[in-house]
Amino acid sequence: MANLVVRNLDPRIVEALKQRAARHGRSAEAEHRALLEAALLRPKGKSLAEVLAEIPNVGQDEDFERVEDMDSDDPVFG
């Protein structure tokens, strides 16, 4: 395993790291490792724009227009 030393950190960052570590019940060093792993090794989820861009083109807008049926006796939509 390699070692990593981070120098010249803002004291607010160190304090935030310690508080976050305490919330998760681990040392600041373990929290630092977890943060680095999450940021660098775990796959990122897709953004809404990426998901929308992957929707296939399955027809024209007119194919999906709502047709009003005025003769319907259906109480749900009436």
Tell me which residue range forms the domain holding 46.
11-54
Chain segment 28-52, per-residue pLDDT in tens: 999 999 999 999 998 888 999 999 9
**How many distinct structural domains can be found in the chain?**
1
78 vs 22, residue with greater confidence: 22
pLDDT of residue 58: 84
59-50-63 Cα angle (round to 5): 15
Is residue 2 domain-resident? no
Give residue 16's pLDDT. 97
Percent of the chain at pLDDT above 70? 87
Cα gap 5→64, rounded to integer Å: 58
In a domain, 70, yes or no: no
pTM over 0.75: no
Mean pLDDT over 48-57 rounds to 91
Q: Where are the alpha helices (DSSP H) in the chain?
A: 11-23, 28-40, 48-53
